[in-house]
Amino acid sequence: MAFDVLRRRLMLASLALLALPAAAQTGYPTRPVKIIVSLPPGSGADSTARFIAQQLAGKFRQPFVVENRPGANGFIGARAVAEAAPDGYTLFVGSNSSMVTNAALFRSLPYDPVKDFVPVERIARFAMVVVVPASSPFKTLGGLVEAIRNAPGKLNYASGSAGYQVYTELFHERFHLKGNPISYKGTAPAMTDVAAANVDYAIGEISSVLPLIRAGRIRPLAVTDSQRQKDLPQVPTVAESGAPGFDVTAWTGVFAPARVPEPIVKALSDAVRTAMQGPDSVKFISGLGGTVYPGGPQALREFQLAEIARTREIVKTAGIPVE
């Protein structure tokens, strides 16, 4: 009889443990968690990272602190995460630049975007916008295209990262153009120079360009997504403007160092996905011009691998030198 009671109690205890969230079973987290972003403040990755940090802090009752480590095409921030202890206390809000484009553009990286990271959760996707200074004579994408075509390699474009250079070169390839890239440490400083008319044009993530568009400092000519954006309903797509099928978006996702225990990854993934599906999150991301885009660790990994393959094809087709 006593044995039956003991067995029943052990069974109930086991069921109770299984019912706990994965993180609760590991005691994670017991101290502050660092979220590294390889882009500067003001970028879409930074904005979404700070929002996610607030959501996770509320969920886990521990601080989640965002740390910006921009520069070197995202190498600095990504490498810091790749080399961090695999304990769940260092996370990465990566973007298409650091987790996809670098794999296509560089033969040798100080980190491996696939092997050195475990995917946690997708966050959001963002259209991009072809913009010029407000003082620019170009009123339409057609006008800009004609000017670039008439002066090959003479017009300068701002490149906030390796990813933006790839997408701008794809734009050039579709219209048979040649521009001159000027590199910046992130979209925000690139767009600041566009607004100051220090460069002729750029492609920037919608969350970074909307404030400058609304302030009348830059002019949007076309969006890179397959459909017009609700915040820029009068601005045509690149596809509408002479490049059928053109469809390019930026995205952000949460990653952790490889070998982080699966229960911690699952707890973080569940927390991020639940948070991003809430109405406040949908409203926040929409306010940045983006769309919530969760799906789980496996969906993020499959998406990342597909994007790497696609970007390598873009690099090859556009004839972009691989360093």
* pLDDT value for 8: 53
Buried b (16+ CB within 10 A) or exposed e, 258-270: eebbebbbbbbbb
pLDDT higher than 50, residue 282: yes
**Cα distances (Å, whole numbers) of residue 233 to 136, 193, 246, 289, 315:** 21, 25, 18, 12, 31
Instruction: Sort 299 into a burial class: Cβ within 10 Å, 0-12 / 13-18 / 19+.
Output: middle
CATH fold for domain 127-223: D-Maltodextrin-Binding Protein; domain 2 (3.40.190)
Whether residue 275 has pLDDT greater than 70: yes
Q: Which two tokens stand for residue 59?
A: 């969920």
Domain with CATH 3.40.190.150 in the chain: 6-125+251-318
- Report pLDDT for 165: 86
When pLDDT is cut at 50, 70 and 90, the band that residue 73 belongs to is confident
pLDDT in tens, 182-198: 988 778 889 999 999 99
Quick one: pLDDT at residue 4? 55
Residues of the chain with CATH 3.40.190.10: 127-223
What tokens were used for 73?
């095409």
Rg over alpha carbons for the chain, rounded to the nearest Å, is 22
pTM value? Answer: 0.79
User: What is the domain class of 6-125+251-318 according to CATH?
Assistant: alpha beta
- Segment 212-239 shows an average pLDDT of 94
Closest CA to 202 of 96, 151, 129: 129
Please check the confidence at residue 204 and state whether its pLDDT lies above 60. Answer: yes
CA-nearest of 86, 37, 125 to 256 is 86
Report the distance separating Cα 53 and Cα 66, nearest Å: 7
